[in-house]
Chains A and B, each alone.
Chain A
């Protein structure tokens, strides 16, 4: 009998990947995305990767990163095992996202930070203290401060200046000088990546029953896991073509299930508890509007990319400062308007507000979302959890009850339409 090593770090990722592959056996191009995500949990890959730049969190504009770095390594938490590794480093009430992120960088298993510059934005309490922990452990960290107000000229100027300083610091580390030409090329590349991502999401929505929700989330999110953005764009384009082909040549009727909009804390691979629960409760995900999705939805439009480097930089800062969904803001108007647009466009049957324990900023925003959803007669379900799997069954019961309620509402609405 073959000896199998117990490695919960790898197993967690492997289980999620297996589940996705079993649910989508006929999608050939999906395998590339599964491999890209899985590689990050492979010890050999991690020891050979040796990234120059590690991006902690999703708060820094990708245009700036890609202008001065070819292969950034994004650390976005997501792993239960890395969260466990950070138990000694962080207080009890730290949110799992931050806990897992620091576990990726300081752990007994592998060291990604040997030659790396860690780049991050001070967008929350945990982040500011993680920077302190990383610096005191001897890691090189370059951080930008995020002004909490998104409207004032002072904030914009300060943020723009911070981005330039950060880009120059990364440039010095990678040996790529930050220039206007590089920024324009990077903005073009990132805009194309975001366009491809949008095309994929639109195609996947039309493909309905041919691809599972978890596979859609993984594919869209793999932008942060892929080693090369160019490769990722090539594969996502092929994957969209594959789905396009399937929808034009085959008919798969998607079951008439309640459609859910997922908001709040980011859903990060391999912890796909929430989409798993939604699927098991007989519902479909209409869209995910967490901070990762919003970041990927931001694009500098074509006319702005032809402006001077200074005005392009200012535009990037402006878009990010006004639109980014993060606890860093006093008023999260960007996230709110994005959610409202999605509600208008997708007309979901329900909203699941996913809150990772300790991420109180999302909790603060919940009443505003609830109020807006109430006006549209959309029920909101607050789901608080962490990266542990022990609460799955309790959450499943709650989610099933929510799903049943939504199904009933749909039936009643249908009956009402028929009788009227």
Chain B
């Protein structure tokens, strides 16, 4: 009887059900792996629940009721602008292997897996976090995002933001400010709430509170030995993408309190002699957590990440010098481009400076440069970074990966050898 009922459903519905089953299974597996890592703080639970809520229960973003959501794809979209319009930003860069497989049939072969996953999510249309978005905001930061904007634009309400390739000239900044004004107009059309000084400063207050908690957290992470596992940190930052900022701030505050208590009690998350690793390069988006998990499983301590899913977009507060609507808009344009270390900019020496700073701050002993297959902009910057790290005698490996689990064992061998190399170097 059951078979008969199943057959009555259309092929498309069965395909969607298969997607849900497979996608949930992968997410459960990675959540379990994160969960099983030792020294998990109790306050991490809400963040894990958010990821479970979105990827396993297949529910929408965690937000107050009746708040429309705006899908964003890079750190250049100012969250404050969306919150000021009464909506909520949801970072939709995809990390799903299942969605990637669907996107693989739609996108050209050499497109990066992140964009393929987004196209897969759009095509299958079953993930509420994607489906419930009233608008998509895509900063044009690379060729794939450019064409993704075209793909989504034919199917959804989409705003493409032109991010100038330079950011040091006033003309470039003016252009981005104009783009933000045009974006805010679209947001007003969506929510009916016009842009105002009061709303913008209220939204800046929201993000400032989150930044305060994040800066507390970063300060705690700098401790040696580590007080929280790097993979747990990544789960926290990934959960931020799908949570209203006020809720995330609340959870973060509780986590910071617990970590402070742990430091007082001397309950650290790793031993002092663990090789301290930094990840940089292409973003690591849940559930594609194979690399951070491998590092920690192989005995490394993942102390920091310089990726756009980490603190890159949330670290710098807007510097408001002119207390007016226009002043805040300019501060937001500045905040989202000038300190940004995204390789979309032609001159991106500040990424090297940022990594140098992180090496010092986190006492890093080795760098893993993560390149998603097809992510050419990050690949270009590898050589310059390798040279700089060579001068400091800090080992670096380039790890190229895709959204599947076939390469996990090869990666394990490379990561293990790299960690041993650092240990041997120390000895």
Q: Which A residue sits closest to B175, measured CB to CB?
A: A158
Residues of B318-373 whose CB lies within 8 A of A: 343-348
Q: Which B residue sits closest to A144, measured CB to CB?
A: B165
Q: Which 7 A-B pairs have the closest CB atoms?
A: A363-B108, A91-B379, A129-B380, A122-B165, A364-B147, A330-B150, A148-B140
A133 and B381 alpha carbons, distance in the complex (Å): 10
A330:B146 contact, CB within 8 angstroms: yes
The interface on chain B, measured as residues whose beta carbon lies within 8 A of the other chain's beta carbons, has a size of 40
Q: Which A residue sits closest to B164, measured CB to CB?
A: A145
Q: Determine whether B153 belongs to the interface, using a CB cutoff of 8 Å to chain A.
A: yes
Q: Which A residue sits closest to B169, measured CB to CB?
A: A165
Residues of B145-160 whose CB lies within 8 A of A: 146-147, 149-150, 153, 160
Contacts A148-B140, A148-B146 hold; do A360 and B175 have CB atoms under 8 A apart?
Answer: no
Q: Which A residue sits closest to B171, measured CB to CB?
A: A161
Residues of A within 8 A of B383 (CB): 89
Q: Determine whether B374 belongs to the interface, using a CB cutoff of 8 Å to chain A.
A: yes
The interface on chain A, measured as residues whose beta carbon lies within 8 A of the other chain's beta carbons, has a size of 41
Q: How many A-B residue pairs have CB under 8 A?
A: 109
A132:B376 contact, CB within 8 angstroms: no
B150:A90 contact, CB within 8 angstroms: no
A364 and B115 alpha carbons, distance in the complex (Å): 12
A94:B143 contact, CB within 8 angstroms: no
Min Cβ gap B391→A in Å is 15
A154 and B109 alpha carbons, distance in the complex (Å): 33
A328 and B110 alpha carbons, distance in the complex (Å): 17
Q: Determine whether B41 belongs to the interface, using a CB cutoff of 8 Å to chain A.
A: no
Contacts A93-B374, A143-B165 hold; do A360 and B140 have CB atoms under 8 A apart?
Answer: no
Q: Determine whether A14 belongs to the interface, using a CB cutoff of 8 Å to chain B.
A: no
Residues of A within 8 A of B68 (CB): none
Residues of A within 8 A of B182 (CB): 152, 154
**For B142, B343, B346, B374, which residue has the most chain A Cβ atoms within 10 angstroms?**
B346
- Choose from B175, B178, B346 the contact partner of A131 (Cβ within 8 Å): B346
- Choose from B110, B143, B162, B381 the contact partner of A124 (Cβ within 8 Å): B143
Residues of A within 8 A of B109 (CB): 363
Q: Interface 1/0s, chain A 125-143, versus B by CB < 8 A?
A: 1101101110110000001
Min Cβ gap B311→A in Å is 24
B347:A135 contact, CB within 8 angstroms: yes
A145:B343 contact, CB within 8 angstroms: no
Listed A/B pairs (14) with beta-carbon separation below 8 Å: A90-B380, A93-B374, A124-B143, A125-B380, A128-B345, A131-B346, A143-B166, A145-B166, A149-B162, A154-B175, A330-B146, A360-B110, A361-B143, A366-B108
Q: Determine whether A276 belongs to the interface, using a CB cutoff of 8 Å to chain B.
A: no
A330:B110 contact, CB within 8 angstroms: no
A125:B110 contact, CB within 8 angstroms: no
Q: Determine whether A358 belongs to the interface, using a CB cutoff of 8 Å to chain B.
A: yes
